[in-house]
Amino acid sequence: MIIAGALVTSNDAGLSVPDWPTSFGSLYKIPHLVGGVRFEHTHRMIAQMAGLLTIILAIWTWRADKRRWMKYLGIGALGTVIAQGILGGLTVLFYLPPPISSAHAALAQTFFCLTVAIAIFTGPRWVEEVPQIEPDVHRPTLITLSLLSIFVLYVQLILGAMFRHHGMSWWPHVLNAPVVAIVLTWTAIRALSLYSTIEAVRRPAILLLALLITQLCLGFLAFLTRVSWGHDAVQPELPMVLSTVAHVAVGALLLATAVILAIQVWRHVPVSMEEPVTRRTHTPVPA
C-alpha cells in the first residue's frame, strides 16, 4: 500500500480519480485504467483490501488473544487504517492540501509499524520461547537509543512527505539525514558490540545498518533525479519515479526495523538500576 501510494504521488496522479469515496461515481465498477487512473484506483483497491484484512485481524485478536493489550492493539490498528482512509479521501476532496497529504503519508507508516508489531507479538517465538535476558547498565541505555532512532526516523519521514507534497523545501529533509544516520549507526553498533549473542537483537541491528546504507544511496539518487536533474521536468520521468518510490519503500522498512529492534531490546535487554562500575586510580599516600 505504501509503494502504491508512492507511485500515485511520484506520478502526480492524486487527482486522476476526482471523487471519493466513489470512483467516477461508482463504488464497485472498475474504471478504465489509463494514465494516472491506474495508479490512483489501484492504490484505492489495495487500501480497501488492507482495510478488510485489518477488520479481520481486529476481530481475531479481540476474540482469540487472551492478552488485553493485544486486543487494544488490534483495535488501534483498525482505527489507524480507518483514519488513513479518511485522510486519503480528504486529500482528493480538498485537492491535495500539503498538511493533509503529509499526514496521510505519515499515518501510513504508523499503520505499517503497528501491523509489524502485531506480527511479532503473535509469532511463535514471542509466545513460546523464553526471552534471553541481559541487563543494560550503560548510559544512554539501548532502549533509549532505539526509541530515539524511531523518533528521528519518523521526523525524517514527515519532512520527506512534506517535501514530496509541496509543503516544504527539500533542505530540512536533507539536513536531518546526517542526524538520522548518526543516531541509527550509534544504536546498531551499541546493539552489535554488547548484545550480539542475542539473535533477536543482532538480526534487526544488522538489517538496520544495511537498510541505512541503502537508504542513503537511494536518497542521493532521488535528490539527483528529482531536484538536480528533474526540477524543470514537464512531467515525472521514469528515473525520478523509480528512485523516489524506492526511497519511500526503504524508508518504511527502515522505520519498521527500528520498531522491531526497540521491541526486542525492550524484551531482552531490560534497564539495570545499577550504575556501571568505574575504575579509579588511587595515588599512594606517602608515610
182 and 224 in contact (C-beta within 8 Å)? no
The tens digit of pLDDT for each residue in 254-269 reads 999 999 999 999 999 9
Cell reading at 61? 485478536
State the residue for C-alpha cell 513460546: 128
pLDDT greater at residue 205 or residue 31: 205
The tens digit of pLDDT for each residue in 16-67 reads 999 999 999 998 888 889 999 999 999 999 999 999 999 999 999 999 999 9
Query: Rounded distance, CA 15 to CA 95, Å?
Result: 7
Buried b (16+ CB within 10 A) or exposed e, 45-81: eebeebbeebeebbeebeeebeeeebbebbebbbebb
Burial-class residue 114 by CB neighbours within 10 Å (0-12, 13-18, 19+): buried
- On the question of pLDDT at 283 being above 70, the answer is no
Query: Rounded distance, CA 75 to CA 18, Å?
Result: 31
Q: Is 66 helix (H, G, I), strand (E, B) or coil?
A: coil
pLDDT greater at residue 46 or residue 272: 46
**pLDDT class of 154 with cuts at 50, 70, 90:** very high
The tens digit of pLDDT for each residue in 135-152 reads 888 999 999 999 999 999
Query: Rounded distance, CA 55 to CA 257, Å?
Result: 24
Residues 109-137: what's their mean pLDDT?
A: 92
Please provide residue 162's backbone torsions phi and psi, each rounded to the nearest 5 degrees: -65, -35
Residues 156-166: what's their mean pLDDT?
A: 95
> What's the chain's average pLDDT?
92
153 and 258 in contact (C-beta within 8 Å)? yes
- Other Cβ atoms closer than 10 A to 200: 22
Tell me, rounded to whole angstroms, the distance of Cα 278 from its chain centroid.
38
- On the question of pLDDT at 92 being above 60, the answer is yes
Burial-class residue 238 by CB neighbours within 10 Å (0-12, 13-18, 19+): exposed
pLDDT at site 47: 96
pLDDT at site 30: 87
pLDDT at site 286: 53
pTM: 0.91
Residues 237-261: what's their mean pLDDT?
A: 96
Length of the chain: 287
Burial-class residue 139 by CB neighbours within 10 Å (0-12, 13-18, 19+): exposed
**pLDDT class of 280 with cuts at 50, 70, 90:** very low
Residues 81-91: what's their mean pLDDT?
A: 97
pLDDT at site 279: 44
Residues 2-9: what's their mean pLDDT?
A: 95
Q: Which of 230, 256, 254 lies closest to 177 in space, CA to CA?
A: 254
The tens digit of pLDDT for each residue in 69-80 reads 999 999 999 999
274: left (phi over 0), alpha (psi -120 to 50) or beta: beta
- On the question of pLDDT at 94 being above 70, the answer is yes
Cell reading at 93? 476532496
- Return the sign of the alpha-carbon dihedral for residues 156, 158, 159, 164: positive
pLDDT at site 241: 94
Residues 177-206: what's their mean pLDDT?
A: 97
